[in-house]
Amino acid sequence: MPQATSPYHHGDLRVACVHAALELLEEGGTAALSLRAVARRAGVAPSAPYRHYADRDALVSAVAAVGYRQLADYLTAAHAEPSSVDDLAAVALAYVRFAIERPALFRVMFSEPCDRDSGNRVAATNIISAYLDSIVRRCFPGADVAALSTALWAVVHGLAFLHLDGKLEASRPSAVADRVHAAVHALLDGR
């Protein structure tokens, strides 16, 4: 016999909140991400999420951490082990594409300095910078790894945000790809 009323306890509200938050971000942008909306979508009272997240920022941090892992997956999917500048440009383009395709999530990931939740969120960030470092090490054995991967992250991150903010036209994917390729080669050719 199917129970008509939902059970008192949700089951796994903690992860349900993150899923709901991701959906809300996709559907309505950053502005749509409210704890109350998350609770509504999870079919739960407005105060329930506070059992699992101290405040809104804590939930946002959890969402950001998921975003970092998805971004890392997206990058490795573009090229598992890049070993040339062209491979590297493909990864750079993936970074920018991720930002353009999921702007609200990307903004959430980089909206605040992540003082709190340093364990989870900082760790997730480190995945990306470690991946970047390993690429640079493989492509440019003699180079100053820290300097070069910082510069590379900066170009890519800057390109992502400038597209997101409409400073660079992002409607034609081929134009985006050309820009990213040009920037990466400008930075790395001749090294």
Partner DNA sequence: TACCTAATGTGAGCGGCGTTCACATGGTAC
Partner DNA sequence: GTACCATGTGAACGCCGCTCACATTAGGTA
Q: Which residues bind DNA (CB under 7 A)?
A: 7-11, 13, 33-37, 44-48, 50-52, 55-57
DSSP 8-state symbol, 112: S
Any contact of residue 148 with a copy of itself (CB under 8 A)? yes
Residue 86: CB atoms within 10 Å: 12
Which CB sits closer to DNA, 115 or 144?
115
Task: Using CA atoms of 152, 157, 163, 164 in order, give the dihedral in degrees to the nearest 10.
Answer: 170
Tokens 């709190």 — which residue? 116
Q: Where are the alpha helices (DSSP H) in the chain?
A: 13-28, 35-41, 56-78, 85-101, 103-109, 123-139, 145-164, 173-188
Any contact of residue 113 with a copy of itself (CB under 8 A)? yes
- Residues binding a copy of itself: number (CB under 8 A): 34
Which CB sits closer to a copy of itself, 87 or 158?
158
Which CB sits closer to DNA, 13 or 64?
13
Give me the phi and psi of 75, to 5 degrees please.
-70, -45
Which position among 20, 114, 124, 139 is part of the footprint of a copy of itself (CB under 8 A)?
Answer: 114
The Cα 68–Cα 65 span in angstroms is 5
Residue 70: C-alpha distances to residues 20, 38, 109 (Å):
16, 20, 11
Which CB sits closer to DNA, 50 or 153?
50
- With contacts defined by CB under 8 A, name the span among 19-27, 45-53, 72-80, 180-188 that binds a copy of itself: 180-188
Which position among 32, 48, 168, 177 is part of the footprint of a copy of itself (CB under 8 A)?
Answer: 168
List of residues contacting a copy of itself (CB under 8 A): 107, 110-115, 125, 129, 144, 147-148, 150-151, 153-159, 161-162, 164-168, 179, 182-183, 186-187, 190
